[in-house]
Amino acid sequence: MTNSSSLLQNDNSLDIETLGPAKIDSPLLGKIGADKENIAWEAFTSDSQRILQDASLASVERYGHEQQVPASFEQAGARRKIYFDPSKARAAILTAGGLCPGLNDVIRSLVMTLYYRYRVQNIQGIRYGYQGLIPNYGHALIELNPATVSEIHQFGGTILGSSRGNQPIDEVVDSLERLNMNILFCIGGDGTLKGALAVSEEIRKRGLKISVIGIPKTIDNDISLVSRSFGFETAVAVATEVIRSAHTEALGAPWGVGLVKLMGRDSGFIAATAALARGDANFVLIPEIDFDVDGPGALLDRLYKRLASRGHAVIVVAEGAGQKFFAQEPAEKDASGNILHKDIGAFLTDRVRKYFREKAQDLNLKYIDPSYIIRSAPANSTDQVFCSFLGQKAAHAAMAGKTNCLIGQWNDHFVHVPIAMAIKERKKVDPMGELWNSVLERTGQPTLTAARKF
């Protein structure tokens, strides 16, 4: 991943907003760990507990000599004193953006923690993302309680539905006021979190006491200052099986090629990690690494030599790779303002087939795009556990009056991250980092730029 230290400074940029002093004893007191109060006290997390951004010894020495405190995150967890009175609190949950394994698991965890741990009785599901808070769409709320969410973790997708597109922020906050909501949980990626930030700012302008907590959802694992996002483990697991199938198809025919397109709009974490896990890929193409198609040493030349010597090959490409080949085509955007990348998978399929036709060489190419199968899959057990923790930590943050922050994981700890910092830039695969170098070692992939002779 990229080095995010440029985002972090020894100032208050990582401080977490609160709605006000937390004065109410948490209903969890005496229920965490054991019934003795002194043991329960130790199980709570204090605002002063911090997680270093850079956990290396070098960072400690660097700051230590200067008598400064290294950049650090506020640790997530239950607080002994909370801000909202559970008997009167009203919470809302929405999911927005594309589907991702684990959405229902996060919803379930939020509801179970709020209902059983804090005794919050009024929890509403907002239908179809921010659309559900705009009256003109007419989407009804869904009452959420343990009965309505008891089985949802067994299914992919989201019971709340999802949508893309910007909605009028003033109307969103108007609806929250009309509904007397105290807490809004926003589960989504970059666009959803930008919306949550705008909602938080409008709430602050109006002087309202509404907590806005984000739970980062990006199957591409590309949110900055979040070491891992939910659904990524499941996506890699399914993608690994797809690569295995592509390898089997390639082996089953002379001059066989399996071409797999995986998700990764701007970051190639799924393609790189799945290729590393499976070991069957020979060429891995991601947005962060330049490559050429034509010329000596470029992809087609290398592919031909691979097939001539071994008889089969597997190519794994992230959806955002190779967009330079479409530079002359007009750019399009989706409803959320994201650039719609051109189909690199179809492009490569056509170019490979054309190249081998010109060489009068038979070719057996199988093109596989499992994107919608992966995003709609139920979460695997690893992601299910992770989603449960995310929902619990988000509920704790909201009840303590935290706002304008998201729940992330850093250095194996759950932390509070200011939304503005997390959306400042996208996390990307480091071309000089351990992940990409491991992929190169695993695949034996050479440089694929025509400028370099071999």
Burial 45-59 (b: 16+ CB within 10 A, else e): bebeebbbbbeeeee
Concatenated DSSP letters for 211-246?
Answer: EEEEEE--TT--BTT-S--TTHHHHHHHHHHHHHHH
Q: State how far the Cα of 31 lies from the Cα of 140, in Å rounded to an integer.
A: 36
Please, which contacts does 24-30 make with residues 24 or more away whose CB atoms are closer than 8 Å? 24/81, 24/82, 24/83, 24/84, 24/85, 25/80, 25/81, 25/82, 26/78, 26/79, 26/80, 26/81, 26/82, 26/118, 26/399, 27/86, 27/117, 27/118, 27/119, 28/78, 28/117, 28/118, 29/80
Rounded Cα distance, 317 and 286, in Å: 6
Q: Is 220 a catalytic residue?
A: yes
d(CA 349, CA 352): 5
CA angle 214, 218, 222 (to 5 degrees): 105
> Quick check: helix, strand or coil at residue 351?
helix
User: What is the spatial distance between Cα 9 and Cα 444, in angstroms, rounded to a whole number?
Assistant: 39
Catalytic residue among 105, 190, 220, 301: 220
Contact 330, 262 (CB under 8 A): no
Q: In whole angstroms, give the CA distance from residue 211 to residue 329.
A: 43
Q: Given the structure tokens 């997680």, which residue do they identify?
A: 51
Catalytic residues: 220
